[in-house]
């Protein structure tokens, strides 16, 4: 783990405006900077950076946070990768904490493998550009494939010299150990001694999403029959073929921007399409698609188009491989190139506009494609048709979205001329066979259906007015928590006839004390866990230190908390993006009426809670439990109705 000392030094040193300006153009806007959103296509700026607060906010997508959050969103780094990136940019030495010597040795060992891969990559690149052999053989091959110099350098393509121990000797000369050369698979040992694995081949470095060299793919230019055309790094601690996608590092921004990913088979397919402007392309490197690879894509988009050669073998491969993508809840389409063509050859032979048009027009929804293909094969054969229908229903059952399932069942019913009732029954059978019970952290058993219901419930909470009031309360605490203000205190009591009477007086106190005491008095906890967590941290900071330090809260690894706080901190400055003052639109300073703002917010919050309590009482009364007492029920409802009336009158609202 990276030490807290290093993380603190990174946050103290890194400047949000400096780092973000490496990726997008920023212009001065008052005390802040503004620019076009890097997360959406737009013509007017909606992206704001605050150097004072060291945070950013993208009003078009709702994203925001500190500089680490930006790198995680824009570059798709993990938290440690973002910290390391910033440490490297500002020349900060990374100090790592480990639990014991064994763990420290393991980390050092892994880092040594990465460093050796990086060294080998530079060696291969140097061979390609600076050696006569590399120029004559390697560079000539790449140019024959239609790759220009810019593309070759972008993908770090290289060449391994024919000499059997060139890389081995160069590595030893630079201080790298034989042990690591063997473990990365860069070197093999046989009766002749130590031999370079990739000698005489052009090199395709395989990178992680953050750009680290994990391993290599290598293509021979030798036409001998007993020589493997492509050779990959063997499985190692840095490289697992089923867990990486070639070209993902180069494609990740385009995938996120286009909200779509093209999946091909080979290295040259990726490079050729990238060069023709289809930058959101990755390759499974010839392996059967794995769950790890699918989830890498899913981090960037829910939409994937699988590209295949136009032969029948390619079509059969499509059917075998894509059910796994459906299972992950992704939207899948397939596109077949004309017979005899593959993505590489088709891209070489056509202009960018034609390629894009072809992909747009020819890509078909996978389920519909499967229905078309299998319907042709089973035509006129009832047994084959029954098997085909079960095959299609099996694929539909893997889709988590029940609405999509319903639509596909309807489509299948029309195309295969089978009733929806029969298909729905078959679907239910498939789901029953495959349903897996899951346990949450509390040990409560849930099915897939339960999980979706819970997600929908949480999503619906976001439209609840109470949640908006919770945000308002937290916003008040952030902006004015330590300020002194005057408040109208209300004392509500019952007279001898049971009527609610209100008495008021004006008091002076700190804003955070007023909010805390009012909510504690009503024993209120917020609906959204993130707001409740943020509220507790803010109150705790005021009670201990008399102030809050937003940057400390934003530095937490929990992105949701940081995003909420950033949204609150920059919400009042959104008008700077649109030059409202030049249009004679002036934003009222809320600080001048903070006492009234707090009182109205708390009263409105309480009014909604009272209204919710009344609704719950009525709902419970309808079920009429054994101990139900109609008189007591009516009295309790009337008391809450009277309280609601008083709160409404105080807010000058009519029920």
Residue whose C-alpha is closest to residue 397's, from 454, 445, 436, 450: 436
Which run of H or E residues covers position 396?
A: helix 382-397
Contacts of 369 (CB under 8 A, 6+ apart): 318, 333, 334
Cβ contact 169:123 at 8 Å: no
The CA distance from 105 to 102, in Å, is: 5
In this prediction, residue 389 carries a pLDDT of 86
In this prediction, residue 554 carries a pLDDT of 76
Helical H segments across 312-365, by residue range: 312-327, 343-349, 352-362
Cβ contact 32:50 at 8 Å: yes
Provide the 3-class DSSP secondary structure of residue 417.
Answer: coil
Q: In terms of C-beta density within 10 A (0-12 exposed, 13-18 middle, 19 or more buried), how is residue 238 classed?
A: buried
Checking if the pLDDT of 649 tops 80, the result is: no
Taking the alpha carbons of 183, 189, 193, 199 in that order, is the dihedral positive or negative?
Answer: negative
In this prediction, residue 330 carries a pLDDT of 86
Quick: pLDDT tens for 191-202. 878 999 999 999
* Residues comprising the chain, all counted: 655
Cβ contact 312:291 at 8 Å: no
The CA distances from residue 208 to 60, 243, 295, 303, 608, in Å, are: 29, 10, 14, 21, 50
Which run of H or E residues covers position 473?
A: helix 465-480
In this prediction, residue 274 carries a pLDDT of 96
Cβ contact 550:53 at 8 Å: yes
Opening angle at CA 528, ends 526 and 533, nearest 5? 75
Structure tokens at 495: 């007279």
The CA distance from 525 to 564, in Å, is: 17
Residue 626 confidence class, pLDDT cut points 50, 70, 90 = low
Contacts of 48 (CB under 8 A, 6+ apart): 29, 32, 33, 34, 56, 57, 58, 59, 570, 573, 574, 576, 577
Structure tokens at 605: 């919050």
The pLDDT > 70 percentage for the chain reads: 82
520 or 390, greater pLDDT: 390
Checking if the pLDDT of 490 tops 80, the result is: no
- Residues of CATH 1.10.860 domain(s) within the chain? 460-571+589-650
User: Superfamily assignment of 4-89 in CATH?
Assistant: Zinc finger, CHC2-typedomain (3.90.580.10)
- Residues of CATH 3.90.580.10 domain(s) within the chain? 4-89
Average pLDDT, integer, range 95-100: 69
CATH of 99-238, one of 1.10.8.10, 3.30.930.10, 3.90.980.10, 3.30.70.1340: 3.90.980.10
Contacts of 214 (CB under 8 A, 6+ apart): 117, 206, 207, 208, 233, 238, 239, 244
Average pLDDT, integer, range 326-354: 88
The CA distance from 66 to 12, in Å, is: 12
In this prediction, residue 454 carries a pLDDT of 31
Which range (65-79, 295-309, 439-453) has the least confidence? 439-453
The CA distance from 27 to 436, in Å, is: 53
Cβ contact 538:476 at 8 Å: no
The CA distances from residue 480 to 513, 516, 531, in Å, are: 11, 13, 17
- Give the residue carrying structure tokens 């008495």: 503
Please spell the DSSP secondary structure of 13-47, one letter per residue.
Answer: H--HHHHHTTTS--EEETTEEEE--TTS--SS--E
Structure tokens at 126: 């140097």
Quick: pLDDT tens for 229-275. 889 999 999 998 888 999 999 998 888 888 899 999 889 999 999 99
Which run of H or E residues covers position 132?
A: helix 132-133
In this prediction, residue 584 carries a pLDDT of 47
Residue whose C-alpha is closest to residue 579's, from 64, 58, 45, 60: 45
Cβ contact 86:10 at 8 Å: yes
In this prediction, residue 203 carries a pLDDT of 96
Residue 521 confidence class, pLDDT cut points 50, 70, 90 = low
The CA distance from 586 to 19, in Å, is: 32
In this prediction the pTM is 0.62
In this prediction, residue 340 carries a pLDDT of 80
In this prediction, residue 491 carries a pLDDT of 57
Checking if the pLDDT of 476 tops 90, the result is: no
- Residues of CATH 1.20.50 domain(s) within the chain? 367-434
Residue 607 confidence class, pLDDT cut points 50, 70, 90 = confident
The CA distance from 273 to 348, in Å, is: 8
Checking if the pLDDT of 642 tops 80, the result is: no
Helical H segments across 481-576, by residue range: 511-521, 529-545, 550-554, 559-570
Fold of 367-434: Pheromone ER-1 (1.20.50)
In this prediction, residue 96 carries a pLDDT of 75
Secondary structure in 3-state letters for 282-313: EECCCCCCCHHHHHHHHCCCCEEEEEECCCHH
Question: Rounded mean pLDDT of the chain?
Answer: 80
Fold of 460-571+589-650: DNAb Helicase; Chain A (1.10.860)
The CA distance from 346 to 337, in Å, is: 8
Cβ contact 59:577 at 8 Å: yes
Please spell the DSSP secondary structure of 601-614, one letter per residue.
Answer: HHHHHHHHHHHHHH
274 or 622, greater pLDDT: 274
Average pLDDT, integer, range 497-512: 68
Cβ contact 531:515 at 8 Å: no
Which range (107-111, 355-359, 441-445, 642-646) has the least confidence? 441-445
């Amino acid at each position: 783990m990276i030490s807290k000392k290093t993380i603190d030094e990174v946050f103290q040193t890194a400047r949000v405006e400096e780092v973000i300006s490496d990726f997008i153009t920023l212009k001065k806007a008052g005390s802040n900077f503004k620019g076009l959103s890097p997360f959406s296509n737009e013509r007017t700026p909606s992206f704001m950076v605050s150097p004072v607060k060291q945070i950013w906010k993208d009003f078009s997508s709702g994203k925001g946070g500190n500089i680490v959050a930006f790198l995680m969103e824009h570059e798709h780094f993990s938290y440690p990768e973002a910290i390391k990136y910033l440490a490297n940019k500002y020349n900060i030495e990374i100090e790592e904490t480990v639990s014991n010597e064994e763990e420290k040795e393991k980390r050092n060992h892994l880092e040594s493998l990465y460093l050796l891969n990086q060294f080998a990559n530079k060696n291969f690149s140097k061979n390609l550009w600076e050696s006569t052999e590399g120029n004559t053989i390697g560079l000539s091959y790449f140019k024959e494939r239609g790759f220009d110099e810019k593309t070759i350098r972008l993908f770090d393509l290289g060449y391994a010299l024919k000499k059997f121990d060139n890389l081995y000797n160069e590595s030893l000369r630079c201080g790298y150990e034989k042990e690591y050369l063997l473990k990365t698979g860069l070197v093999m040992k046989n009766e002749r001694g130590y031999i370079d694995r990739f000698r005489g081949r052009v090199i395709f470095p395989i990178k992680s999403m953050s750009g680290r060299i994990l391993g290599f793919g290598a293509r021979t230019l030798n036409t001998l029959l007993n020589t493997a055309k492509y050779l990959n790094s063997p499985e190692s601690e840095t490289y697992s073929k089923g867990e990486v996608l070639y070209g993902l590092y180069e494609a990740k921004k385009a995938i996120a921007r286009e909200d779509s990913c093209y999946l091909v088979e080979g290295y040259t397919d990726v490079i050729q399409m990238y060069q023709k402007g289809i930058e959101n392309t990755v390759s499974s490197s010839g392996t059967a698609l794995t769950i790890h690879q699918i989830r890498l894509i899913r981090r960037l988009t829910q939409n994937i188009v699988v590209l295949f050669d136009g032969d029948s073998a390619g079509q059969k491969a499509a059917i075998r491989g894509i059910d796994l993508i459906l299972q992950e809840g992704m939207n899948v389409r397939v596109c077949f190139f004309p017979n005899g063509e593959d993505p590489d050859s088709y891209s070489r032979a056509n202009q960018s506009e034609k390629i894009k048009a072809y992909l747009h027009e020819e890509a078909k929804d996978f389920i519909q494609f499967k229905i078309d293909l299998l319907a042709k094969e089973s035509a006129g054969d009832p047994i084959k048709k029954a098997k085909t229908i079960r095959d299609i229903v099996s694929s539909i059952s893997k889709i988590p979205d029940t609405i999509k399932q319903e639509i596909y069942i309807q489509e299948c019913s029309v195309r295969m001329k089978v009733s929806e009732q029969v298909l729905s029954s078959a679907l239910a059978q498939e789901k029953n066979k495959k349903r897996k019970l899951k346990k949450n952290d509390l040990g409560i058993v849930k099915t897939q259906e339960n999980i979706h219901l819970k997600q929908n419930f949480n999503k619906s909470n976001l439209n609840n007015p109470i949640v908006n009031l919770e945000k308002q309360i937290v916003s008040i605490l952030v902006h004015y928590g330590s300020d002194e203000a005057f408040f109208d205190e209300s004392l509500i009591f019952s007279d001898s006839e049971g009527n609610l009477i209100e008495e008021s007086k004006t008091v002076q106190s700190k804003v955070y004390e007023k909010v805390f005491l009012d909510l504690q008095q009503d024993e209120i906890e917020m609906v959204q866990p993130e707001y409740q967590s943020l509220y507790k941290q803010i109150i705790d900071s005021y009670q201990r230190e008399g102030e809050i330090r937003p940057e400390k809260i934003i530095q937490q690894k929990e992105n949701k908390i940081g995003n909420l706080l950033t949204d609150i901190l920059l919400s009042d400055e959104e008008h700077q993006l649109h030059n409202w003052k030049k249009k004679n639109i002036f934003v009222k300073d809320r600080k001048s009426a903070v006492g009234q703002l707090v009182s109205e917010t708390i009263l409105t919050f309480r009014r909604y809670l009272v209204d919710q309590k009344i609704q719950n009482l009525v709902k419970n009364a309808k079920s009429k439990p054994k101990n139900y007492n109609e008189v007591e029920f009516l009295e309790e409802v009337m008391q809450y109705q009277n309280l609601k009336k008083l709160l409404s009158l105080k807010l000058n609202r009519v029920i």
